[in-house]
Amino acid sequence: MDILEDLQWRGAINQCTDLEGLRKLLKTKKVSLYCGTDPTGDSLHIGHLIPFIMLKRFQLAGHHPYILIGGGTGFIGDPSGRKTERSLQTTDQVEHNEKALTAQMIKLFGTENFDIVNNYDWLSKIDLLSFLRDYGKSFNVNTMLSKEAVASRLDNGISFTEFSYQILQSIDFYHLLKDKDIQLQIGGADQWGNLANGVDLIHKKDSKAEAYGLTIPLMLKADGTKFGKTAGGAVWLDPKKTSPFEFYQFWFNQDDRDVVKYLKYFTFLSHDEINALEEKVTTEPEKREAQRRLAQEVTSFVHGDAEMKEAEKISEVLFNGDIKQLSATEIKQAFDKVPSAHAENAITNIVELLVNTEIESSKRQAREDVSNGAITVNGDKVTDVEASIDPADGFDGKYIVVRKGKKNYTLISVGDAVSED
């Protein structure tokens, strides 16, 4: 089975400018290919993983992937998938984001048989007259207006700046073909118009050149909503924005109806392994073996084996309820999204602690909940209203974890630990 057949089995091919031509090319040589991302933020999110994992599959098959970081196009703004104009970024913002994204890319792809390029290096050298004469003449305005990214914006209006984005992306492909012999560009489904434009420009400049565009289907969940968003927003690859534990939990909590599709898209497991997990979803769904393997594979790919194992440990401990097994760092990850409070680094009466941290609205209510066994502190039930809580008793003296009832947690930072949040 060749790589295109594997991608088709995984449901990862949406459109290709010439699928059979690409198949023939891949049988004759190892190719260079690329995918681009603009530095609009300082972290990638899981939506970016969809095309990047395809690049990784090509890399594992011996081909040479490039990531294009749009230091030039990042100053312009891609209209794809947007209803309004993007805010223009400052030079400092773009450069900061470029550095952050570069570090994330290297973590995913390593440094062997992989390169990163920046389109600012060539786009910034094109003067206006050359842009209009050498490239503008190759683009028909009527055709540009018909592209979905532009057509969807016509009612509300689109600036010439964003309208010209598709020309700049086409120039990228042409430049990379000439300079790096890159013959394949990969992108999301919303990039189809831009990829096709790039191939057209190349053929207008050199009718004998071989160049291809390949897009990935729009990822939708079983309920019809777009993949990649949660109630709390995007799921980031930056561990400071989305902890490895939260990242792991995102994948572990996937619906039975989606998990096999995600195993095909986001993991490098073999067909046989995925088919076996699919059988488990049908015969033993309560064990969530497919979800666990998905979470393990993707978390390990993005954050590393050690972080994946730590996330798995936190998950198991929380499920079993014995949080005393966790370190202070693991506690911070596990309870990062629950309500938080601060307490002084001093031994405190349980009732005072609950009222001072606003877990309880009054001393009367605090006493009642303690007496009724509704309060646990660091995993231990507290039923004595005269009990004293010593921060030094757990988690390096940095945190106190209070649970009220079955699910209402509060993470109390102690003393200087509040500065870590």
Residue 248, annotated ligand binder? no
Query: Parallel, antiparallel, or unpaired for β 408-414 and 340-343?
Result: parallel
Q: Check whether 409 is labelled as a binding-site residue.
A: no
* 375/367 Cα distance (integer angstroms): 10
Query: Distances from the Cα of 111 to the Cαs of 58, 65, 107, 108, in angstroms?
Result: 15, 11, 9, 9
Backbone region of residue 62 per phi and psi (left: phi > 0; alpha: psi in -120 to 50; beta: other values): left
What number of helices (H) and strands (E) belong to the chain? 19, 15
Check if the beta carbon of residue 81 is closer than 8 Å to that of residue 187: no
Closest by Cα among 272, 330, 334, 262 to 298? 262
165 is an annotated ligand-binding site residue: yes
Q: Minimal CA–CA distance to 119: which of 74, 163, 86?
A: 74
333 annotated among ligand-binding-site residues: no
- Residue 79 contacts residue 150 (beta carbons within 8 Å): yes
For the annotated binding site for L-tyrosine, the residues are: 34, 165, 169
For the annotated binding site, the residues are: 34, 165, 169, 229
For the annotated binding site for ATP, the residues are: 229
